[in-house]
Copies of this chain bind each other. A is one copy, B any other.
Amino acid sequence: MKVVALAGGVGGAKLVSGLAQSLGPQELTVIVNTGDDFWHLGLRICPDLDTVCYTLAGLANKLTGWGREGETWRVIEELKRFDGADWFKLGDRDLALHLYRTGLLAAGKNLTEVVAELLQIWDVETVVLPMSDDPVATMVFTENGEMAFQEYFVKYQWQPKVKGFRFLGADNALPTKEVISAIEEAKVVIIAPSNPWVSIGPILSVSGMKELLKTKNVIAVSPLIGGRAVKGPAAKMYHELGLEPSSSTVARQYQDVINGFVLDTIDAQECEIINVLGIGTFLTDIMMRDYLDRKRLADEVLDMSRKTWVH
């Protein structure tokens, strides 16, 4: 069964890693947010793509969820002497990837080709695609003004209150031909439990993406459990935007594109509201504590999609 997953960083990567265990390599395509991508020290850095790829390659730091296992920090320690700009923690191994990618991009390859090449080097058979080869930049309007996503997220540790978002370049960004055919061929599209505002939002903002998804069975997994995010600023963002952080709020946000929603059993009381929106619901334990949880949740989401929403 051909499956597409839309994913951001850490939370998304966990479900993706479960799906990769459940499905054959020909069955899974992951479309990843590139709205966080940015230039830093002349290097093209793609945080979400790297988190997903490192996770699939078994190279991810198990403690942090991002970056490399067994990382060292020689370069950035030296770099501090120059400008003190060490807010973005570039590990030495991680840096090797950024250098290699930047070189390939400078040589004229597109990001889709670069990711494919990296996965081949790492013997990862799952297909991972950037949402677009065109640049999209997630910008965050905050109480301290507008800032690029990484600045908000890493430099200011998502402390400034958010007022809204925009995705620079999204209107002119097209899904790649690989993205289009993956979605067209998919029996189901799974929206991973990533941040709806800044991880899934940018993917949906790509020109024509929502239209592509509207024809498909699309199931989202809630990023909130009991109104709280497992990690990161999702719940805080809902609060600051004047919305109740709850699974039903997330489902409403996705209602244009989804027909199914997976939420945690502790949020059972929200099913009714979601069903009223015309969206099917499935309750389970959605917390992914370990590799077994990832595989179990992936299996459950796939089972649900097979039984309930097959065309």
Contact = CB atoms under 8 A, between A and B. Distances in A.
Contacts of A118: 82
Interface string A214-251: 00000000000000000000000000000000000000
B102 A76 contact: no
A104 to B, nearest CB: 9
Interface stretch (A90-98, A126-134, A173-181, A183-191): A90-98
Given A41-B103, A74-B75, A75-B75, 6 more contacts: A39-B106, A74-B74, A75-B92, A75-B99, A79-B99, A82-B118
Interface in A59-93: 72, 74-76, 78-79, 81-83, 92-93
A291 interface: no
Given A42-B42, A42-B43, A78 B96 contact: yes
A143 to B, nearest CB: 27
21 contacts: A39-B106, A41-B103, A42-B99, A42-B102, A42-B103, A43-B99, A74-B92, A74-B93, A75-B92, A75-B95, A75-B96, A75-B99, A78-B93, A78-B95, A78-B96, A78-B97, A81-B96, A82-B97, A82-B100, A82-B118, A92-B92
A310 interface: no
A276 interface: no
Band of interface residues on A: 20 to 34
A164 B83 CA distance: 41
User: How many copies of this chain?
Assistant: 2
A75 B103 CA distance: 15
Contacts of A100: 41, 79, 82-83
Nearest to A81: B121
A49 B74 CA distance: 22
* Interchain residue pairs A-B with the least CB separation, the first 4: A78-B96, A74-B92, A42-B102, A79-B96
Nearest to A105: B42
Interface string A118-153: 100100000000000000000000000000000000
Nearest to A100: B82
In the complex, which of the residues A39, A72, A100, A121 has the most CB atoms of chain B within 10 Å of its own CB atom?
A: A100
